[in-house]
């Protein structure tokens, strides 16, 4: 029985990064041991001036499942976790739980995280699902956290209610899949980056409710990190393929909007001189259809070569899809233009702007998810 427990223990590792946590470190380690969690503990200390590392070394004399990884320089939460995970991989651990030293994360949820985590899933101790809650925060802190979490989920489309959670369990297969050397965030945005990488790598994010308790001793390290984290989240957002494609699509759209408008006004002038007896609105609609066909052809060529980098050899089929989407865009474009100019009686320029915006959104998402789907 002892041998089996020891083997199970050796497969799980709790990684706790510290900097000046002398008031908390003994308590969190003692609580973990009282809970009889089947896991070793690694404290990654960034050369704490308050002697946190020395306390861990004293405790490790009696606790052979407790380890200390001392680092000479304070490089941030993310770098500390990466160093700890690499250390654990070298030692052969299979599951890794990230945990704060200040007892914010409940030790009673550790076994649950290890059990949920498997070769294809990352377990998250969540504050924002049913059953989860936060104790000790004032209204301002809660609103700030909830708002940051909501915006992060919205921008990065992370399929977890608590995208910024720091209490997670990762399988070693995840680290091998992503290569820990590719992790960019050094601060608190590390938690977001890991959730994003897990989702992008095809790992399921499984949440379990926890009660998050604000620290009662020591000093919070989050002050000064919020701006850095916000910049990293914005960087992750811009780096997403869909966002890059949308920017390119917008550039192509801007160029071909110029083509569209130039052809429209040219065609309108010519049609007015050729067909003086035609109704002005009819002339407008014919000119709009001509300009749209010209700009759509130019747009297809540019989007195929640059935006979506399509290598589809069946060009005619792809072009056919593009034209179908374009026809839908034409309907939207013409309908909006008619509504704005004929019904609202606004000037042509406002009709063009409104029609272009409506058609652009339709064209991007329809082409991305249908015409050029193979390229994505």
| pLDDT tens sequence across 33-77 | 999 999 999 999 999 999 999 999 999 999 999 999 999 888 888
Residues in CB range of 203: below 8 A, 6 or more apart: 120, 121, 122, 171, 174, 177
Q: What is the pTM of this model?
A: 0.68
Containing 306, the helix (H) or strand (E) segment is none
For residue range 16-30, list pLDDT tens digits in order.
Answer: 999 999 999 999 999
Mean pLDDT lowest among 103-107, 187-191, 231-235: 231-235
Nearest to 209 by CA among 129, 272, 279, 276: 129
Is the model's pLDDT at 287 over the cut of 80? Answer: yes
3-state SS assignment for residue 169? strand
What is the residue extent of each domain of the chain? 2-239, 242-371
Tell whether the model's pLDDT for residue 245 goes beyond 90.
no
Residue 171's alpha-carbon distances to 58, 72, 113, 141, 168, in angstroms, are: 30, 28, 11, 31, 10
348 φ, ψ (degrees, to nearest 5): -55, -40
Residues 273 and 266: their CA atoms lie apart, in Å, by 11
Summary mean pLDDT of the chain: 87
**Predicted confidence band at 221 (pLDDT cuts at 50, 70, 90)?**
low
pLDDT over 80 at 1, yes or no: no
pLDDT of residue 223: 55
Torsions phi, psi for 128 (to 5 deg): -115, 15
Question: Out of 2-6, 102-106, 145-149, 246-250, which region has the weakest mean confidence (pLDDT)?
Answer: 2-6
* Contact criterion met (CB below 8 Å) for 288 and 333: yes
b/e for 185-204, b at 16 or more Cβ within 10 A?
bbbbbbbbbbbbbbbeeebe
| List of residues 6+ apart from 115 with CB closer than 8 A | none
Can you list the pairs that 70-74 forms with residues at least 24 positions away whose Cβ atoms lie under 8 Å? 70/45, 71/44, 71/45, 71/46, 71/47, 72/47, 73/46, 73/47, 74/19, 74/46, 74/47
CB 81 within 8 A of CB 98: yes
Instruction: Note the pLDDT of residue 339.
Output: 92
First to last CA, the chain: 52
Q: Does 255 have pLDDT greater than 60?
A: yes
CB 374 within 8 A of CB 239: no
Kind of pairing between the strands at 12-18 and 95-98: parallel
Domain 2-239 has CATH 3.40.190.10: no
pLDDT of residue 112: 96
So what's the pLDDT on residue 266? 95
Q: How confident is the model at residue 333, as a pLDDT?
A: 87
Q: What is the pLDDT of residues 293-336, one digit of tens each?
A: 898 788 888 888 888 777 766 677 787 888 788 888 889 988 99
Q: Is the pLDDT of residue 3 over 50?
A: no
Tell me what pLDDT residue 295 has: 85
> Does the pLDDT at position 129 exceed 90?
yes
Report d(CA 235, CA 350) in Å as an integer: 34
The set of residues, in sequence order, having a beta carbon less than 8 Å from that of 68 and lying 6+ positions away, is 42, 43, 45, 53, 56, 57, 60
User: For residue 217, is pLDDT > 70?
Assistant: no
């Amino acid at each position: 029985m002892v041998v089996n427990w020891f083997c199970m223990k050796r497969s799980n590792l709790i990684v706790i990064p510290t900097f000046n946590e002398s008031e908390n470190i003994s308590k969190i380690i003692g609580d973990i041991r009282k809970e009889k969690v089947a896991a070793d503990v690694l404290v990654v200390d960034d050369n704490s001036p308050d002697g946190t590392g020395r306390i861990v070394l004293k405790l490790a004399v009696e606790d052979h499942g407790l380890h200390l990884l001392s680092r000479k320089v304070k490089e941030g939460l993310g770098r500390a976790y990466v160093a700890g995970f690499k250390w654990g991989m070298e030692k052969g651990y299979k599951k890794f739980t990230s945990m704060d030293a200040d007892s914010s994360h409940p030790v009673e949820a550790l076994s649950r995280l290890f059990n949920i985590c498997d070769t294809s899933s990352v377990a998250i101790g969540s504050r924002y699902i049913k059953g989860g809650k936060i104790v000790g925060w004032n209204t301002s802190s809660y609103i700030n956290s909830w708002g940051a979490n909501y915006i992060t989920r919205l921008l990065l489309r992370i399929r977890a209610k608590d995208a910024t959670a720091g209490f997670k369990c990762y399988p070693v297969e995840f680290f091998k899949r992503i290569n820990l050397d590719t992790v960019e965030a050094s601060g608190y945005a590390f938690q977001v980056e890991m959730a994003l990488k897990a989702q992008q790598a095809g790992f399921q994010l499984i949440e379990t409710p926890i009660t998050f308790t604000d620290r009662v001793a020591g000093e919070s390290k989050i002050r000064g990190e919020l701006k850095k984290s916000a910049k990293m989240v914005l960087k992750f957002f811009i780096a997403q393929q869909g966002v890059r494609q949308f920017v390119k699509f917008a550039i192509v759209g801007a160029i071909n909007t110029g083509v569209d408008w130039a052809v429209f006004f040219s065609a309108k002038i010519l049609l007015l001189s050729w067909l003086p007896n035609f109704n002005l609105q009819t002339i407008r609609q014919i000119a709009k259809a001509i300009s749209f066909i010209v700009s759509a052809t130019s747009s297809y060529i540019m989007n195929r070569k640059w935006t979506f980098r399509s290598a589809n050899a069946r060009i005619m089929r792809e072009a056919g899809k593009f034209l179908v989407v374009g026809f839908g865009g034409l309907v939207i474009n013409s309908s909006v233009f008619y509504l704005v100019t004929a019904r609202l009686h606004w000037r042509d320029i406002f009709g063009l702007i409104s029609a272009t915006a409506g058609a652009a959104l339709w064209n991007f998402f329809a082409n991305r998810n249908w015409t050029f789907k193979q390229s994505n």
